Amino acid sequence: MKNPRRRAREIALQALYAWQLGGGSAAEAVAQAQALEGYERADAALVETLVRGGIERAEALDALIAPHLIERRPSELSPIERAILRIGTLELSEQPETPVKVVLNEAIELGKDFGAAQGHRFVNGVLERVAQAVRPGEFARLRQTA
């Protein structure tokens, strides 16, 4: 059984994906997220934080992600990859209470469940580099224990 925070990330991913394809406001995207199957079992506050943050700070998140894309531009990412990277980067940069290891593991699972066949490996590699940039101390400690 999925915990409420994992379900929140799945709901947020679906809402951010829909927003990328259809546009609209952050409030509209949150409302759409609330209508998705499984929302009632999700961490509602996390859904709203991720959806609003992923939309309202999309440019800033993309600016954090872009230097860590190897041989790709943000515009070349699939909407799923872009949404997962925005969620992970938002958590890494603005939610220090969520451990790096959790952010990386959750992004990998989203990639496996929703992305292309090997997309989770790409997402993991990018987010590891983002983590190293925005949380260097915690990332270094994580690598020492791995």
pLDDT, one tens digit for every residue, the chain (146 residues): 689 999 999 999 999 999 999 999 999 999 999 999 999 999 999 999 999 999 999 999 999 999 999 888 878 899 999 999 999 999 999 999 999 999 999 999 999 999 888 888 999 999 999 999 999 999 999 888 86
Question: Which two structure tokens, joined as six digits, stand for 144?
Answer: 């020492």
What CATH number is attached to the domain comprising 41?
A: 1.10.940.10
DSSP 117-146: TTHHHHHHHHHHHHHHHH-HHHHHHHHHH-
Instruction: Give the pTM.
Output: 0.95
Burial of 110 (0-12, 13-18, 19+ CB in 10 A): buried
Please tell me the distance from the alpha carbon of residue 59 to that of residue 85, in angstroms, as a whole number: 12
Confidence at residue 29, expressed as pLDDT on a 0 to 100 scale: 97
Confidence at residue 146, expressed as pLDDT on a 0 to 100 scale: 67
Residue 80: domain span: 4-145
Count of the separate structural domains present in the chain: 1
